[in-house]
Amino acid sequence: MNRLPIHTDTRAWKAQVWISFGIAASLCGIGLAYLPGQDLDRAFMVMGYGFCLSAAFAVAKFVRDNQQRRADTPLWGTVVWGGFALAMGLTAWGLWRMDINPTYKAFLGVSWLFLISSVFTLAKTLRDAHEAAQHASHHLAE
């Protein structure tokens, strides 16, 4: 029986993924820490970024599970995608309506999108590593 090899990421790739995620999270943290304006605006943006972060991980897991034919219920898909859309939409709306310098808005927006992008890459890398470890342990048991 022919077995397909399991893809494993290189150390360089894993380092790049973690460094990118760290930079994105740091840029977002710095941008939010020094955000001018009212306390309510800052609180809204911190919650929005946190909501987007967790929703992006949930979407990544949902997509990967369905790719591997471990389908969830249709309602769960609606909740996951709806939560992600709501998180992204409300955070974008909050950022758009804030009365701050346009350059600062651009910094916050770009760092936020960089964070979301790096979350998807990190989630894939972590899941690949998990599956490779499971595959290796399964073959050792045989």
pLDDT digits (tens, 9 = 90+) for 23-63: 999 999 999 999 888 888 889 999 999 999 999 999 998 98
pLDDT at 6 over 70: no
Alpha carbon distance 29, 18 (integer Å):
16
| Predicted pLDDT at 8 | 81
Domain definitions of the chain by residue range: 11-141
| Predicted pLDDT at 142 | 61
Report the percentage of the chain scoring pLDDT > 90.
Answer: 61
The angle formed by the CA atoms of residues 45, 22 and 91, to the nearest 5 degrees, is 20
pTM of the model: 0.81
In this structure, what are the phi and psi dihedrals at residue 99, rounded to the nearest 5 degrees?
Answer: -90, 75
